[in-house]
């Protein structure tokens, strides 16, 4: 399998509870390398662009409000099959369905406030990484 990069967000519910380090430890324990990371407060425009794919969904407004409600930590993770591996480490979107040992099982509060985001495909990973990081900010 090829070395791959995925985009990750530690969401406001997690930064509010000081869980950045605990989540990073789970990411690193899974064999993923954090090759870029910064803490930012997203603007409404950034959050709307980021989640544009969901703009017709009933939860869109709530999702954008949540994503700008506090700081987030945006990251690039690198590893063999990083996209699928990180989705596994995150667990199901709804923490009630998330497997034991996953980030969402351990930390998520609800289907909306679910602690982390991870890209779902190579194309979306590339677009999401480019929205938040310049090439020279990523050190593999």
- The residues of the shown chain that bind ligand RTP, judged by CB under 6 A, are 54, 59, 63, 93, 111-112, 114, 117-118, 120
Q: Which residues are catalytic?
A: 117
Q: Is 5 part of any known ligand binding site? A: no
* Ordered alpha helix ranges (H), 8-59: 12-16, 20-29, 44-50
Q: Minimum Å distance from CB 118 to ligand RTP?
A: 5
Q: Is 55 part of any known ligand binding site? A: no
**Exposed (0-12), middle (13-18) or buried (19+): which is 57, by Cβ within 10 Å?**
exposed
Looking from the CA of 81 toward its CB, the CA atoms found within 13 Å total: 7
Q: Minimum Å distance from CB 134 to ligand RTP?
A: 23
Distance of CA 37 to the CA centre of its chain: 11
In this complex, which beta carbon is closest to ligand RTP, that of residue 106 or of residue 111? 111
Q: List the binding residues.
A: 11, 59, 87, 93, 104, 114
């Amino acid at each position: 399998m090829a070395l791959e990069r995925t985009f990750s967000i530690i969401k406001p519910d997690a930064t509010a509870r000081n869980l950045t380090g605990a989540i990073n430890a789970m990411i690193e324990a899974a064999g993923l390398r954090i090759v870029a990371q910064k803490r930012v407060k997203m603007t409404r425009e950034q959050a709307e662009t980021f989640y544009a794919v969901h703009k017709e969904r009933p939860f869109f407004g709530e999702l954008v409000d949540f994503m700008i409600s506090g700081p987030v930590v945006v990251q690039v993770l690198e590893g063999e099959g990083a996209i699928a591996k990180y989705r596994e480490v995150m667990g199901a979107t709804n923490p009630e369905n998330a497997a034991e040992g996953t980030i969402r099982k351990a930390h998520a509060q609800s289907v909306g406030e679910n602690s982390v985001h991870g890209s779902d495909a190579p194309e979306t990973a590339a677009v999401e990484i480019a929205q938040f990081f310049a090439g020279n900010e990523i050190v593999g």
